[in-house]
Chain A
């Protein structure tokens, strides 16, 4: 972005692209047999940045997210992550125990179906406490206090702390899943339709929470959503996927207000206002 003849800028905070990215993805492909899941995806993600992924059903959004989070082995390509504890890592050659460790500490993964991301046999409080315990927390009162605080932040009545997740509505399960992930202050969250099934006011509160975590704590987020107004509010950048490929990417408001690809234009014009 510097014009060619300009001297190097002196203030890195004004020219943030000079910092190293947190996540760096190149040429990522995933085939299921001969069926393409996602194809040739590339992007960089920096701390505090929210990347939105939109696109039609079956376009490869979940597949991409699971490859990024090390939950699905890509067919080819590279995913590099700059870990706080372990330095620069290539996730494709990263040993499984290390990946599991990252999942409990530096990362969060919010699944499209909350039942896939919760432990259904234990209480809401235990779901939130699980990551803390895996990090060595042993004081029951402290863990419970954290669980109660996080229930409140996602607007679940504290009285439900001992109930099983299956007694919760779908929207509450989704919020519980989010709380369970955020409790250890991850640096990077992968979220698959986190606002699906939430009513509008709860959704607004959740967006507020995520926005402030990104802004104040530098949380980076990759979020899959079919809701373009969610993308508009939350995402700094947007990738539009179709049939496994990223067909358009850029600044969120630019992609939504001045879409270039025929598919993006169709997507944007098929909703009333975003």
Chain B
């Protein structure tokens, strides 16, 4: 029987892209890659630009479809292989188990900032009032003032949008969190807040995989570093 004590385990993962619109060019991003992250642990992905860090993270979220390998996550009292799970199963895992903070916020027109952060908190058992209170307190910690809460983030600055994104990711008690450069467009004070949020998430037992270009942030949160294997040169 397959058991999974860790939050997430990746076995033999390979990912390539075939660009049909560009003469069928093939990009082999990584091959036969394995890693695991324990509950309460933060693994930092490192490697030069283009080495496939974001591609790996997106594959873990099932946003990219790997060519081969398994992505096992604990979900409720079962284990799901996200590389083969049906779309509905992936969505269920994302709803309950797997959070992802992307580099940029994808805004849904007309949905206010506070609603974006509070959405889905019902999954964690919060009543509407509690959800709004929790979302507000996170926004406050990330220095988003109440005057912005009722507005849709379309008009927000890049850093403000990113903080909405972070608040949304950290509002929920996801057992697994994927972070793609969460501090990229933030000032020092907000970077420090994000470091705090990551540490709090680890303390409550979240397994975290992150990409942190900022070395100070990485040193402050990462327990281990995973270096992307360098690409084999074609003969």
Contacts and interface: CB of A to CB of B under 8 A. Distances in A.
A250 to B, nearest CB: 6
Given A265-B21, A269-B21, A204 B109 contact: yes
B184 interface: no
A189 to B, nearest CB: 19
Contacts of A49: 88
B62 A254 contact: yes
Question: Interface size bucket, B side?
Answer: 35 or more
A2 B80 contact: yes
B86 to A, nearest CB: 5
Given A1-B84, A236-B91, A251 B62 contact: yes
Contacts of B1: 5-7
Interface residues of A, number: 39
Most buried by B among A16, A49, A204, A251: A251
A1 B80 contact: yes
B66 to A, nearest CB: 10
A11 B70 CA distance: 23
B90 interface: yes
Interface string A242-266: 0000000011011001101110011
Given A208-B111, A254-B62, A257-B63, A15 B89 contact: yes
A269 B19 CA distance: 11
A55 to B, nearest CB: 16
A16 B75 CA distance: 12
A87 interface: no
Interface of B: 1-2, 17-21, 58, 62-65, 70, 72, 75-81, 84-92, 96, 106, 108-111
Interface of A: 1-3, 5-7, 9-11, 13-17, 46, 49, 200-201, 203-205, 207-208, 232-233, 236-237, 250-251, 253-254, 257-258, 260-262, 265-266, 269
